[in-house]
């Protein structure tokens, strides 16, 4: 995982990288924000219980990074950067002991005496420790997901992040390299009845890890100020590490070739089934909805989006299409209009510049329409995606300061199209056409991820940052798109609404797919048909999504779940407050709680409006 994190529906592929461990995926989301221990009014007065809780939380984090040094590095805590965890039974026992210890500590706090914000912190910590414990003891992803084992991200972070002088970092890397053989030996021992899908992913990713230890690294070491003896030792450890990775790849490859466990029809299914799914959904999403409720909602939403899209597409047909050739099938009719609109887009070499120019317009619209507070002292810097971050499929992402590096700039990374083939660039431009590119910018930047981050940064507590809720973060960005259009962004044109609906349909269909694939045996054919016919996607996108849905569970529901929960809460507050309701007040208050689960924010907001 990179220090800089990507979050967007665009960055679907970026998420695949983050699935490697359950905790890691949660950390990746959490990095986006430094969140609020300061709930506007209530946090000003800190009780003795609050102070005790804060002290406990600080100690728990220090112990956590000591127990899981790689996770420390992923949030910018480098004290244990030279340590490497060997993923054996002993390390799993240590992890369980850590979770048990923390869970026991958490029971000692009387929640009635804590501030509302600390109650949320406590809930987040308990949920995270229970979830991680469950992953080790019940879900056992370490056993059946060989993709769990990959040293590339951790070493990549140390080599590519400028957290210390190069020589110090190389020494950290060298110390860790000594354990790579033990790491992969433990990995081999741990794997049992893997799925074919996670085995193939692991082979692919470990080949990527191998490329990290290539001639470039050797050259870098040679050019450094390490002593000659150190350089020689580095070289020999790199060679041994390469052997260990290659050996692991060969081991997995043999499993897929010979082992009857992985023969078609024999391998463990990637589908986790209803029971595990419900549990994982409860831990990862922390939704106010049950899985069944969310599923029903998504199906109803798909139908109502189709109705609304039909109206918009019919209205647009005479403007763009031949009236005589309107298809009778409404889904084909909608698709024809979408395909025609998609041909209107910026020029290939102007892509990054077009994004850059749109940001001030978004900022101005939010200000003119009085939608929420903005902070000019924390500007968003648009830049070309740094090279070391490219290649994981994310075309755009927001890089935020981590919880241990809060003064860093916030960047909006946009990958220029100049290195793509003509066909790839054309496809990217059609996808991010004149309308969708604006929606992307709303989602990523203003008032989406970047704005949420600025609000969450207003306070100092690390807990909601590190244990923050991904569904709230993604849900906010999706809610922000709709909020802008509702306020008249894009002049209420049929074009931007139709394109937004297509974009929104993706999050809805992601939810349906995830639930039906994992718990209802949905076939690949049915999934691809739903994406292409009912969500108007291209075959490549649909095929990639199928793959992603076989490799992870639950995360695909987070976008729509968060959006649905926030929208429901907004409606509830509007109902309750009547004439006194203001979008701006709602948004500011909602964002003031940091990246907490929407259901927790709901409790706090309802309580404060009583």
Which residue, 129 or 590, is less far from Zn ion as judged by CB? 590
| 48/343 Cα distance (integer angstroms) | 62
Indicate the residue among 123 and 537 with the shorter CB distance to Zn ion.
537
Burial 394-417 (b: 16+ CB within 10 A, else e): bbbbbbbbbbbbeeeebbbbbbbb
Residue 123 or 561: the one with the smaller Cβ distance to Zn ion is 561
417 vs 339: CA distance, rounded Å? 21
Instruction: Enter the DSSP assignment of 269.
Output: P
Longest pairwise C-alpha distance within the chain: 79
* DSSP E strand stretches across 13-86: none
CB nearer to Zn ion: give 149 or 411: 411
Smallest distance from Zn ion to CB 470, Å? 9
Element (H, E) at 382: strand 380-384
Number of Cβ within 10 Å of residue 464's Cβ equals 29
Provide the minimum distance between the beta carbon of 444 and Zn ion in the complex, in angstroms, as a whole number. 7
Q: Is the peptide bond before 447 cis (omega within 30 degrees of 0)?
A: yes
Q: Which residues bind Zn ion (CB under 5 A)?
A: 7-8, 474, 477
| Eight-state DSSP code of residue 383 | E
Using the minimum distance from each CB to Zn ion, give the nearer residue, 78 or 476: 476
Q: Among all residues, whose Cβ is closest to Zn ion?
A: 8
Smallest gap from residue 481 Cβ to Zn ion (A): 10
**What is the nearest approach in angstroms of Zn ion to the Cβ of residue 311?**
28
Minimum distance from residue 163 beta carbon to Zn ion (Å): 26
CB of 176 to Zn ion, least distance (A): 32
Q: Are 505 and 589 in contact (CB under 8 A)?
A: no
Quote the least distance from Cβ 405 to Zn ion, whole Å: 21
State the nearest-atom distance from the C-beta of 452 to Zn ion, in Å: 10
Specify the residue, 154 or 444, whose C-beta has the smaller distance to Zn ion.
444
Half-sphere exposure of 271 (CA within 13 A, CB side): 15
| Shortest spacing between CB 497 and Zn ion, in angstroms | 20
* DSSP secondary structure, 175-199, as one string: HHHTTHHHHHHHHHHH--S-BHHHH
H helix or E strand, kind and range, residue 33: none
Bridge partner list, 381: 411
Question: Given the structure tokens 């937004």, which residue do they identify?
Answer: 500
Question: With respect to Zn ion, which residue has the nearer C-beta, 473 or 604?
Answer: 473
DSSP state of 534: I
For the CB of residue 8, give the shortest distance to Zn ion in the complex, in Å. Answer: 4
Cα–Cα distance, 400 to 412 (Å, whole number): 9
Of residues 174 and 601, the one with the C-beta less far from Zn ion: 601
Instruction: Pick the closer one to Zn ion by CB: 154 or 565.
Output: 565
Distance CA(198)–CA(552), nearest Å, equals 9
How many Cα atoms occupy the beta-carbon half-sphere of 591 within 13 Å?
29
Write down the residue that tokens 């923390």 correspond to: 102
Residue 474 or 495 having the CB closest to Zn ion: 474
567: which 2 tokens?
A: 């929208």
């Amino acid at each position: 995982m990179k220090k800089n994190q990507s979050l967007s529906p665009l960055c679907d592929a970026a998420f695949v990288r983050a699935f490697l461990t359950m905790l890691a995926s949660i950390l990746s989301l959490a990095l986006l924000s430094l969140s609020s221990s300061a709930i506007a009014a209530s946090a000003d007065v800190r009780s003795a219980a609050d102070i005790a809780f804060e002290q406990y939380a600080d100690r728990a984090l220090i112990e956590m990074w000591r127990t899981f040094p790689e996770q420390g590095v992923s949030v910018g805590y480098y004290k244990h950067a030279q340590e490497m965890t060997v993923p054996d039974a002993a390390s799993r026992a240590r992890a369980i002991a850590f979770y048990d210890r923390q869970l026991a500590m958490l029971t000692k706090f009387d929640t009635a005496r804590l501030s509302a914000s600390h109650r949320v912190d406590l809930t987040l910590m308990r949920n995270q420790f229970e979830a991680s414990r469950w992953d080790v003891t019940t879900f056992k992803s370490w056993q059946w997901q060989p993709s769990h084992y990959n040293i590339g991200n951790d070493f990549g972070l140390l080599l590519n992040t400028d957290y210390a002088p190069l020589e110090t970092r190389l020494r950290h890397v060298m110390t860790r390299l000594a354990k790579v053989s033990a790491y992969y030996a433990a990995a081999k021992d741990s794997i049992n009845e893997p799925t074919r899908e996670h085995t193939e992913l692991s082979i692919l990713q470990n080949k990527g890890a191998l490329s990290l230890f290539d001639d470039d690294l050797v050259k870098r070491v040679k050019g450094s100020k390490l002593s000659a003896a150190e350089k020689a030792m580095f070289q020999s450890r790199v060679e041994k590490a390469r052997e260990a990775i290659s050996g692991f790849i060969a081991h997995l490859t043999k499993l897929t070739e010979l082992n009857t466990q992985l023969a078609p029809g024999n391998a463990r299914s990637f589908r986790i089934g209803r029971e595990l799914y419900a549990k994982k959904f409860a831990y990862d999403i922390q939704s106010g909805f049950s899985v069944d409720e969310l599923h029903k909602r998504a199906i109803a939403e798909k139908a109502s989006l189709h109705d609304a899209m039909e109206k918009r597409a019919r209205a647009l047909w005479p403007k763009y299409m031949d009236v005589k050739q309107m298809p009778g099938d409404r889904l084909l009719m909608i698709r024809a209009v979408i395909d025609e609109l998609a041909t209107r887009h910026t020029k290939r070499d102007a892509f990054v510049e077009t994004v850059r120019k749109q940001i001030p317009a978004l900022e101005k619209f939010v200000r003119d329409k009085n939608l929420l507070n903005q902070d000019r002292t924390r500007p968003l810097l648009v830049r070309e995606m740094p090279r070391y971050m490219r290649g994981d499929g994310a075309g755009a992402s927001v890089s935020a300061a981590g919880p241990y590096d809060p003064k860093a700039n916030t960047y909006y990374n946009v990958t220029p199209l100049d290195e793509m083939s003509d066909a790839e660039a054309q496809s990217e431009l059609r996808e991010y056409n004149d309308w969708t590119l604006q929606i992307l910018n709303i989602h990523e930047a203003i008032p989406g991820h970047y704005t949420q981050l600025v609000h969450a940064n207003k306070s100092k507590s690390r807990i909601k940052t590190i244990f923050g809720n991904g569904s709230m973060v993604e849900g906010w960005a999706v809610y922000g798109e709709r909020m802008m259009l509702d306020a008249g962004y894009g002049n209420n044109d049929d074009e931007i609404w139709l394109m937004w609906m297509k974009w929104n349909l993706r999050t809805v269909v992601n939810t349906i797919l995830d639930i039906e694939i994992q718990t209802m045996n949905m076939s690949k054919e049915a999934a691809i048909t739903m994406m292409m016919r009912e969500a108007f996607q291209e075959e490549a996108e649909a095929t990639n999504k199928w793959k992603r849905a076989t490799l992870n569970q639950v995360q695909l529901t987070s976008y729509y779940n968060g959006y649905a929960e926030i929208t429901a809460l907004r409606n509830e507050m509007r109902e309750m407050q009547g004439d006194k309701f203001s979008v701006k007040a709602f948004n500011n208050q909602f964002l003031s709680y940091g990246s907490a689960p929407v259901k927790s924010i709901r409790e706090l907001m309802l309580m404060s409006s009583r």
